Amino acid sequence: MHLTLLPAPTRHVPTTAPHPDLVHMEGDRWIKGAGTPYPVLDLLVADGWSIVLDHRADVHAGSPDGRAYVGYLPESPHTRLGDLWHITVEGTADRPGWEQVFGAAVPAEVVAGFVAALLTARDRPDEF
């Protein structure tokens, strides 16, 4: 067998974001940095989650059924390790639970997209 290496195809890299919601309000720059937690918290409040602000100013959110948790932990010792967002879903006898962590460099809008997908997937009949 003989392999021939060919040059990689040229890719067009877009100069603007593919969707207006993905750009910062100031112009063409992509969103970056942690930003504010409100894009995530607004989704959770609208879905009936309980929100608690603790003595360190960390924000904890619990789903109405108590099986899912979203933590925004800017003052937690975990943040010193780079873990700003903690998202967990408790498992059942049939399905394992899981956890997803996002660091301080991940924009809150990206975390909000993840949470929105989680809230949508929750409604699937074969899930949770």
For every residue of 86-98, DSSP letters joined together read: EEEE---SSS--E
For residue 65, the model assigns a pLDDT of 93
CA–CA separation, 115 and 100 (whole Å): 11
For residue 63, the model assigns a pLDDT of 96
> Residue-wise pLDDT tens for the chain (128 aa)?
555 555 555 545 445 545 554 444 455 567 777 788 999 999 999 999 999 999 988 999 999 999 999 999 998 887 777 789 999 999 988 889 999 999 988 999 999 999 999 999 875 555 44
Over the range 27-65, which residues count as b (16 or more CB within 10 Å of their CB) and which as e?
Answer: eeeebeebbebebbbebbeeeebeeeeeeeebbbbbbee
Nearest to 85 by CA among 25, 128, 43, 23: 43
Give, in order, the Cα–Cα distances in Å from 121 to each of 26, 44, 68, 87, 127: 32, 14, 13, 15, 7
